[in-house]
């Protein structure tokens, strides 16, 4: 395999894993999104609420396509 394919596979797997974690999280979605936003902010990434919602929707769509 080419190194780029390996990187893409790992990144895709991480996204799917994160999405599954979000869907099966024991906490309410709103609280989970706040925690994700807080974590991203600590890493220097700032997302508006609408962008975070969009990201969650995209992850959900990916999960449904892969199921």
Confidence (pTM):
0.40
d(CA 61, CA 67): 10
Crossing angle of helices 3-23 and 29-42, rounded to 10°: 140
CB contact at 8 A, 52 and 33: yes
Tokens of 34: 């706040």
pLDDT on residue 67: 61
Tokens of 33: 């999104």
Which of the residues in the chain have pLDDT under 70?
1, 25, 67
């Amino acid at each position: 395999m080419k190194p780029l394919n390996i990187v893409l596979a790992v990144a895709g797997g991480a996204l799917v894993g994160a999405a599954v974690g979000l869907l099966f999280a024991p906490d309410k979605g709103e609280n989970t999104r706040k925690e994700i936003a807080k974590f991203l902010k600590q890493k220097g990434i700032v997302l508006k609420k609408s962008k975070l919602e969009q990201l969650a929707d995209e992850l959900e769509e990916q999960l449904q396509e892969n199921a």
